[in-house]
């Protein structure tokens, strides 16, 4: 016996959203490529970006800022495998990574401050002076 199921047409808007999302995904990555998780916060004067990247040498990390797009690139070297060892679990990440974010307004690339402490990369990206809110004083007669 055949089961009768009501057909509901697909909402064209959600179908287009899914189609758009397909192209937003990065190309297929190899096993040694991965993304870095970021926290991005905004204050009145700047953006604060934090990335958790344990195990990387600062020399293997590249940070660029061009046209208000911040790019993080780097590579974590794979540890030497121990011969005669049988691994039961290998979850640590290694290989190259890259991550970029576009700021919604102009930033001052010359004043960016970056620190790396205990596996956390912290960036302070000041907003450009032209986009900061200006307080206008009112004179009373």
Distance CA 106, CA 132 (A): 10
H/E element holding 15? helix 12-24
Residue 43 lies in a domain: yes
Domain count, the chain: 1
pTM of model > 0.85: no
Residue 70 lies in a domain: yes
For all residues of the chain together, what is the average pLDDT? 80
Which CATH number is 48's domain given? 2.60.40.790
H/E element holding 17? helix 12-24
- Whether the CB-CB separation of 94 and 77 falls below 8 Å is answered with yes
pLDDT at res. 31: 47
Residue 1 lies in a domain: no
Over residues 13-36, mean pLDDT: 59
Residue 138 lies in a domain: no
Distance CA 70, CA 53 (A): 16
Residue 13 lies in a domain: no
Residue 9 lies in a domain: no
**Which range marks the domain in which residue 115 is found?**
30-80+92-130
pLDDT at res. 84: 80
Residue 15 lies in a domain: no
Distant-in-sequence, close-in-space partners of 53: CB < 8 Å, separation ≥ 6: 36, 61, 74, 76, 97, 116, 119, 120, 121
Chain segment 97-109, per-residue pLDDT in tens: 899 999 998 999 9
Distance CA 125, CA 68 (A): 10
């Amino acid at each position: 016996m055949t089961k009768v199921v009501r057909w509901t047409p697909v909402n064209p808007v959600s179908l287009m959203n899914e189609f758009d999302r397909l192209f937003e995904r990065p190309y297929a990555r190899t096993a040694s490529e991965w993304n870095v998780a970021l926290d991005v916060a905004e204050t009145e004067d700047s953006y604060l970006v934090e990335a958790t990247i344990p195990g990387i040498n600062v020399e293997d990390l590249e940070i660029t800022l061009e046209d208000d797009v911040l790019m993080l690139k780097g590579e974590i070297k794979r540890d030497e495998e121990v011969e005669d060892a049988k691994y039961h679990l290998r979850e640590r990440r290694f290989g190259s990574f890259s991550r970029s974010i576009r700021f919604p307004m102009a930033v001052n690339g010359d004043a960016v401050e970056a620190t790396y402490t205990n596996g956390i990369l912290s960036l302070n990206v000041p907003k450009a002076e032209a986009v900061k809110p200006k307080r206008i004083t009112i004179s009373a007669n």
